[in-house]
Amino acid sequence: MSQRLLLLFLALLFTSCSLKEPKVTVSLSSYLENLGAPKNEALLIQKEAIEQTLKLKKSYGSSFNPRFHNLLVNLNLSKRGLCWHYAHDLYGHLSSFVNELDMIIVVANKDSLLEHSAVVLTCKGCDIEEGMVLDAWRDKKKLFYILTKEDSYKWSKR
């Protein structure tokens, strides 16, 4: 039994995607409008991003802490739900709704045990640092979003 507990503890330590949660106080659509999206596009992206995040969480079966769900995926007890699954699936879904902004899949801490992926929306032709992060993985219940420059992660293009 103690060997299983040790294995579980080690697996938790070595799950991909790290978890940092700063506080967000402004609506997603407001951020998007500030980046240059027209109001109707900003509202549609907000609606779709929030709804798609919930659908992904349900389809992945991830109602636990994101790190615990990573453990389930890494032990082949769940098929999907790592941060990069969320990033790619959210990107694919939103690509038909994003017209006036650039959308980029990003990574932080690349090739390390703390590697983490998300999506960044930014103004056309702008750098990642000028945009905002959409992270469907980071919160166990909902879409997490924050201005890239306010996030504790240092993002680069995947």
Is 6 within the bounds of a domain?
no
Is 79 within the bounds of a domain?
yes
The residue segments making up the domain with residue 36 are 27-151
Query: DSSP 3-state assignment of 110?
Result: coil
- Kindly state the DSSP code that residue 114 receives in the 8-state scheme: T
- Check: pTM over 0.85? Answer yes or no: no
- Locate 91 and state its tokens: 């990107």
Number of structural domains the chain divides into: 1
Is 15 within the bounds of a domain?
no
Q: How do residues 33-69 score in pLDDT, each as one tens digit?
A: 999 999 999 999 999 999 999 999 999 888 777 788 7
Q: How do residues 120-130 score in pLDDT, each as one tens digit?
A: 999 999 999 99
Is 9 within the bounds of a domain?
no
Average pLDDT, the chain: 87
CB 90 within 8 A of CB 28: no
Q: How do residues 14-25 score in pLDDT, each as one tens digit?
A: 455 555 555 555
